[in-house]
Structure 1
Amino acid sequence: MHESIREFEEWTDPATKQMLNNLVDRKQKFDRAKKMHVSILWISIFTTFGFLYYLSKAVLEPYSYSFGAMFSVYVSDSFHLYITLFLAGLFGSVKVLHQMRVKKEKEYQDLRKEIIDRSKDLWKEDAWKKRHQVFDKMKSHFDINLYHGSK
């Protein structure tokens, strides 16, 4: 359990602390998936532009007089095939990482909204008056907004 969640006072019971800990874990998994997706996306974009620049200088300019000559030079070098397959794999991985990112975001948002919806059950009587301290700490330490359900 995260140290700052463990430090919550007696008005937060162990089950609520465990839910908040799970929420923090899901938020961290979502952030990692988001960072990975964006990183691979930018790598694939820059690699593609670099390869297209190389193709324009090595194939398109010298053999621009004939499409057949350009095509022949492109297919005759196996390096072009390998790079094309590598780029296709990169963009495929971007798609897979995007799907993982969406899934992890949905899991995180669902748990966050569940905590918001069940907050009346989780903090009762005197604890209800002090729950804003838990919400403030979650917002400041983990960037998790528990005040309202919309993104």
Structure 2
Amino acid sequence: MRSVFDQLDRYMDEPTKQMILALIKKKQKYENYARQSFRWQMSALACALLFCLFLAGKGIGHNGIVTEVLNDSIYLLLIMAAAFAYSAAYYFKKKEEKAEGEFHKLRCEIIQKSTDLWPYPKEWKSREAIFKLMKQQYDINLYFESK
């Protein structure tokens, strides 16, 4: 990551470079939370499906479904695993939403302050190279504020 920006030193001053690097870190943090959230959601779904499969495979006894579930420890284990996975997914989803908000806020700030960050016409041309690099390598759109 640093080697790319070492080449672009002539296009940015140090504060601008720090803002761009912070934006990349926030994007990576957001994507990490999104992956974690998705993994835990799929784990919760898998546990719930396994519970249903075990329940359908064993069939409902003459005592009823509640007694059947409470008497067999595999059902309780699957219910607890699904509840834990759902809780973890919920936790990471909240973290993902917060990280996305921070990322979007900084991205919009860079877009709004681009005239201050690259004030001269010569620097304004180099801005295009930086924006293109951010779009191609990191999938960060600095052209428009909308998501």
TM-score (norm. length: structure 2): 0.92
Q: Distance in 1 between matches of 2:85 and 2:9?
A: 48
107-116 vs 1-10, greater mean Cα deviation: 1-10
For 1:10, what is the secondary structure of its paired residue? helix
Give, in angstroms, the shift of residue 11 of structure 1: 2.9
Q: Distance in 1 between matches of 2:43 and 2:70?
A: 25
User: Structure 1 unaligned runs (5+)?
Assistant: none
Alignment partner, residue 29 of structure 1 = 29
User: Structure 2 unaligned runs (5+)?
Assistant: none
The aligned runs of 1:79-94 (5 Å cut-off) are: 79-94=74-89
CA gap of 1:133–1:74, structure 2 versus 1, over 3 A, is same
Give, in angstroms, the shift of residue 74 of structure 1: 1.9
Q: Percent identity?
A: 28
Q: Distance in 2 between matches of 1:84 and 1:47?
A: 7
The size of the alignment, in residue pairs, is: 146
Q: What is the Cα-based RMSD across aligned positions, in Å?
A: 1.5
* Structure 1 residue identity aligned to 2:67: S
Of 115, 118, 127, the residue aligned with 1:120 is 115
Give, in angstroms, the shift of residue 89 of structure 1: 1.2
1:102 paired with 2:128, answer no
Q: Distance in 2 between matches of 1:108 and 1:133?
A: 21
Of 119, 125, 129, the residue aligned with 1:129 is 125
Write the deviation string for residues 110-145 of structure 1: whole angstroms up to 9, x where unpaired. 000000010011001120122101100111111111
CA contact (8 A) 1:36 1:97 kept: yes
1:72 paired with 2:67, answer yes
Q: Distance in 2 between matches of 1:6 and 1:21?
A: 12
* Structure 2 residue identity aligned to 1:141: Q
CA contact (8 A) 1:59 1:74 kept: no
* Structure 1 residue identity aligned to 2:46: F
Give, in angstroms, the shift of residue 83 of structure 1: 1.9
The aligned runs of 1:135-150 (5 Å cut-off) are: 135-150=131-146
Moved over 3 A (4+): none
